[in-house]
Structure 1
Amino acid sequence: MTATSSSSDRLATAYSPCPNDTFVFHAWAHGLVPGPLTPEVTFADIDVTNGLAERGELDLLKISYAALPWVLDEYALLPCGGALGRGCGPLVLTGLAASGDPAALAGKTVAVPSERSTAYLLFRLWAADAVPGGLGEVVVLPFHEIMPAVRDGKVDAGLVIHEARFTYQQYGLHSLADMGEAWEAATGLPIPLGAIVARRSLGAERLGELAAAIRASVEYAWAQPQASRDYVLAHAQEMDPAVADQHIALYVNDFTAELGPDGYAAVRALLDRAAAAGLVPPVAAEALAFPGVIG
């Protein structure tokens, strides 16, 4: 059954409790910027929101760019609010001092946060060249369980995202490879991580209004960074405030306010490369179009 807003002025919305999302959406969620609808927020990790979108639940969601091929019939990609950037890619971690030889992953068990995640696509594209012996078992774990699993020897390696870039040393782990560095070296493009999508059935005018509200929320967050502080830390899962600040600085950038040509080129490159590798269904260029942004 499709879940939608309970009233005509509210929008069933889901995004993660991560600092970048709460920072971006704080002003809109609290009525501090004008918007056509008030978001009725559900907090959920990206693997959950990907599933919600694939089942056609909720009206507006933050999902992985990797999940777009399965949802674009029902949802439109919004040109703002998401996460792209440089120097912010997922890391492959191991419990042993990294030898620098990715071939060491051949036949090994690797934990990933979602098989529908951009991190997973970047990892599989990288591993196809870097691990000629082929990976072993790939297991899906919530992202906050991956580092403890690697530390405790339950898996041989883990693919981590978000604030793990700043905290993995606390678990005694070592970075074997940076998927972002590999992507940027291969394409010269930013790394597309999280997308904002909204129901196409809302109509082009309403979608444009929602994009404007999200962009205004981003700009408010930059202008008044302390305004969202309590909201960010309340949902940051006991994260150190300094790590939350690093997280925001890394993932909220010019691409969050506007994807722009480089942002769309990055999304297009990811989906095209993944489709060529048989990892996702092919996506027509027009499926990514947003009224007034690209054709």
Structure 2
Amino acid sequence: MTIAFSPCPNDTFVFHAWVHGRIAGAPELSVTYADIDVTNGLATQDDGPEVLKVSYAALPWLLDKYALIPCGGALGRGCGPLVLTRDGSSDPAYLSGKRIAVPSDLSTAYLLFRLWAARHVPGGVGEIVVMPFDQIMSAVRDGDIDAGLVIHEARFTYPAYGLTMLADMGAWWELDTGLPIPLGAIVARRDLDRTAITDWVRASVRYAWAHPEESRSYVISHAQEMDPQVADAHIKLYVNEFTEDLREDGMLAVRALLHRAAEEGLVPRVDDSLLG
């Protein structure tokens, strides 16, 4: 079975057991490791992988071919994307007309930013530049862009780049809706057995929690130069009870995000029945 997910610690931690044959009855995986911008694009291709990690914000364009798997993804509280600058500004008006980097034009981070900016940035932002998430902080630090929307481990490492947080998209979303933040989803092609795939993903999550040391070398090898302590903090934040099961709160959050974005004309409307 073909699968694509990021090399970030939360994804490698979640899928370690399945990738390494620890899940009884699960098929062998052929893995593509790729940034979320790449996996969002792969999902739109006719020959895309059978299972993928994508942004929740990308679902309106994918649900005709892919079904949402209610586990394995990234959704939670206190884990939202951050807007970073190098000048210490805390005023959203600073972003008016500015050049801002985002990790993917189909990312949940960018969708949350667009919803937030519509309310908080007078006159709107200027140019949006899509770049790999791990290049954004350097670009802000070096003055190549005015601000950056960051995800993943940047929440822990941005002070080392001399950057400051202007706004936390997750904190805004939680305050505004009372719901957790839907970031990354696991999807599977609709011609596959969704129940079986759900069982295999959930079993892989549970195995990871039960045997955390088994995945450590795999996680660190794909995290490249990330400090092991940062990788551990990353996993602790992004792999939580919603990773095991979206539950009612998680599905409410997903529907709220997609419905609100559709009302603002940012994404096509989604039939709730397609979300499962």
Superposition TM-score, scaled by structure 1 size:
0.92
* Cα deviation, residue 237, structure 1: 1.9
* Alignment partner of 1:231 out of 196, 218, 225: 218
1:83 equivalent to 2:70? Answer: no
* Alignment partner of 1:148 out of 117, 126, 138: 138
Listed as ranges, the gaps of 5+ residues in structure 2 are none
Q: What is the Cα-based RMSD across aligned positions, in Å?
A: 0.7
* Alignment partner of 2:156 out of 166, 169, 191: 166
Q: Deviations over 1:87-119 (max 9, x none)?
A: 000000001112x21011101010000010000
Alpha-carbon distance between aligned partners in 2 of 1:29 and 1:145, rounded to the nearest angstrom = 28
Residue matched to 1:94: 85
Residue matched to 1:5: none
Equivalent residue runs for 1:255-274 within 5 Å: 255-274=242-261
Equivalent residue runs for 1:4-19 within 5 Å: 11-19=1-9
* Cα deviation, residue 209, structure 1: 0.9
Residue matched to 1:6: none
Alpha-carbon distance between aligned partners in 1 of 2:24 and 2:112, rounded to the nearest angstrom = 37
Q: Deviations over 1:91-149 (max 9, x none)?
A: 00001112x21011101010000010000000000000010221100110100110011
Cα distance change on mapping 1:229 and 1:69 into 2, 3 Å: same
Alpha-carbon distance between aligned partners in 2 of 1:102 and 1:262, rounded to the nearest angstrom = 29
1:70 equivalent to 2:57? Answer: no
Q: Deviations over 1:64-102 (max 9, x none)?
A: 00000001000000010000000000000001112x210
> Residue 76 of structure 1 aligns to a residue in which SS?
strand
Equivalent residue runs for 1:155-194 within 5 Å: 155-194=145-184
* Cα deviation, residue 35, structure 1: 3.4
Which amino acid in 2 is paired with 1:44? A
Alpha-carbon distance between aligned partners in 2 of 1:281 and 1:38, rounded to the nearest angstrom = 35
Residue matched to 1:131: 121
Asked whether the 8 Å contact 1:26–1:217 carries over to 2, the reply is yes
* Alignment partner of 2:191 out of 185, 194, 201: 201
Listed as ranges, the gaps of 5+ residues in structure 1 are 1-10, 290-295
Superposition TM-score, scaled by structure 2 size:
0.98
Aligned residues: 275
> Residue 72 of structure 2 aligns to a residue in which SS?
coil
* Cα deviation, residue 58, structure 1: 1.0
* Cα deviation, residue 210, structure 1: 1.0
* Cα deviation, residue 222, structure 1: 0.5
Asked whether the 8 Å contact 1:109–1:157 carries over to 2, the reply is yes
> Residue 71 of structure 2 aligns to a residue in which SS?
coil
Alpha-carbon distance between aligned partners in 1 of 2:150 and 2:191, rounded to the nearest angstrom = 35
> Residue 23 of structure 1 aligns to a residue in which SS?
helix
Residue matched to 1:216: 203
Residue matched to 2:232: 245
Alpha-carbon distance between aligned partners in 2 of 1:109 and 1:35, rounded to the nearest angstrom = 49
Alpha-carbon distance between aligned partners in 1 of 2:202 and 2:132, rounded to the nearest angstrom = 29
Which amino acid in 1 is paired with 2:61? W
